Amino acid sequence: MNIYDFKVENNEGKLIDLSDYENKVLLVVNTATKCGYTKQYKYLEEIYQDYKDKGFEILDFPCNQFGGQAPGSDEEINKFVCEVYDTSFPRFKKIEVNGDNASPLYKWLKSIDGKEIGWNFTKFLIGRDGEIIKKMTARTGEQSIRKKIEEAL
């Protein structure tokens, strides 16, 4: 099993087959709009712009499980992030990442270490083969993330 085996809903309710991203390096992130780490959207967009033409994508999955820090509808979240941080990478439907109602994608992502997601802006780097390369916490610095992406590209 790899990431290409999953289908997820985008923020407009359309079912997206993640095999559409085959042969790309992916950064999968659970996000929140009212979190101390929300400002990471700024450098995530910069990273996206720097690498998207080299076969890189960021997949943004809003999640309200950590302190209720992703309130609002998918439409409201998208509007806020686009207006405040001018993001252009794909955003998906708000999901749960932990517990019984965790999305199947996140159940698979957590298989890398068997641990629950600790907080907003946990990142998973996925290689061109669809396999998990690395799990990174919200505290992982931008330069470390860039280095790992460059290695994967």
Residues acting as catalytic residues: 35
Name the maximum alpha-carbon separation found in the chain: 37
85 burial via Cβ count (<10 Å: 0-12, 13-18, 19+)? middle
